[in-house]
Amino acid sequence: MKACIITLPSGKRTCPDVSSKRLSLLILSFLLLSTPFFCLYNYSFSPWRRDMELVYRRSSLPSSRAFGLVNQCDMFSGDWVPQVKAPYYTNETNCQIDDRQNCIKFGRPDTEFMKWRWKPSQCELPPFNATLFLELVRGKSLAFIGDSLARNQMQSLVCLLASAADPVDNSYTADPRFRLWFYAEYNFTLAIFWSVHLVKSEDADANIYPLTSQTLYLDEVDEIWANHIEKFNYVIISAGQWFLRPLVYYRKGKLIGCYACNKRKITGLSMYYGYQMAFRTSFRTLLNLENFKGTTFLRTISPQHYENGGWNTGGTCVRTRPIAKDEIRFEEYFLKLYSTQVAELIAADGKGKKRGLKFRILDPTDMMAERADGHPNHYAHGPGANFTNADCVHWCLPGPIDAWNEILLQVLQSEYNATSLMDKSTPPNQTNS
């Protein structure tokens, strides 16, 4: 039985075989555009995805392998393997877990979803070491920019670090969507900036557009994060599901079109266009910030796993074990979102080299496709929660999302090692540019 784990924005459950002829043309176009990048990066292509003839080739990505992880290992290609060890933390650990991801607290009866660990194919992924992480970021700062999945990863990280240090909440607002944690012993700042579209956005006029429509100013970055980001050493940026709803697009202060707004007199534009421009504007902002010297990571889009319906049509995620690779099928819209954000990262990386700025990728998309068992489903509650809708988007804490931060630790370790090696290779009477 094949599992079509990604639902359409409409909530419909279709998972057709993607046309080989059509996608072959798309692949050829993408390869031609990305050819210069192929010479720089070499990313393994997951065997279970070959039959889908994807619109991208992972050999075109700025991968973990290319950026010097342990033994040149691609950390994002591998398998989930059983483990007998207890998770790094529990829902009673002294850290902040959003009730909407606190699955054990709200009665999830099974625990097997916490008993799997990610194992890269080419090497070992060391267990998370909170003290090592904090030493690597001593005197530095790290910010997550994005939606509730960015918060999901940030809270996972805070809980993982709880075994070594307790942070002070130095948030500049009471709004829980914006948090700033300070680890005094390590002089380390960890922040989350809620920005679901990355660019300036607001509710669209409900008298004109569908009720859930959002207006996006595609050439204006969201100052919520842009005004605070310049001095951060590491930035992890992401966006996803919010681009599936009706969108109204503005550029240079003028209406240029909309997605799914059902207005005949307004130019119809795709959600991919808005997604592309949001990342383009965000990366351009980071490139143009005079004092920004940090490393930017794109965290690729995270899969949802609704089955037997969509998020608002009775879909659920009741599995208690990971999905087998040969069961998985992505839908075409999801692949296009993925390839769109990666293409913008590739472009930004090329421009960043001229300024000495690093653009990297955290690419958990493939590995999380197997973890349909890791979502809250109905075992989570939040303010004003709708208990009839299952949550098959976010990840239970503790849960498989902790692997993102295990890999993040290794990325930071490799960055530190590379910098140390460069410093050692510089003659004493010279400095790095």
Q: Are 315 and 391 in contact (CB under 8 A)?
A: no
* Active site annotation includes 238: no
| DSSP character at residue 184 | G
Q: Which of the residues 197, 305, 378, 394 is marked catalytic?
A: 394
115 strand-pairing partners: none
Residue of 139, 159, 4, 69 whose CA lies nearest to 362: 69
Q: Are 276 and 344 in contact (CB under 8 A)?
A: yes
Q: Which two tokens stand for residue 17?
A: 């075989």
**Residue 124, Ramachandran bin (φ over 0: left; ψ between -120 and 50: alpha; else beta):** beta
Residue of 71, 100, 189 whose CA lies nearest to 395: 100
* Active site annotation includes 326: no
* Active site annotation includes 148: yes
| DSSP character at residue 391 | B
Per-position DSSP letters for 282-331, written without gaps between them: HHHHHHH-TT---EEEEEPPPPP--BSS-TTTT-B---SSPPPGGGEE--
Percentage helix, strand, coil for the chain under 3-state DSSP, each rounded to 5: 35, 20, 50
Q: Which of the residues 74, 222, 363, 391 is marked catalytic?
A: 391
Instruction: Give the C-alpha separation, 87 to 5, whole Å.
Output: 26
Catalytic residues: 148, 391, 394
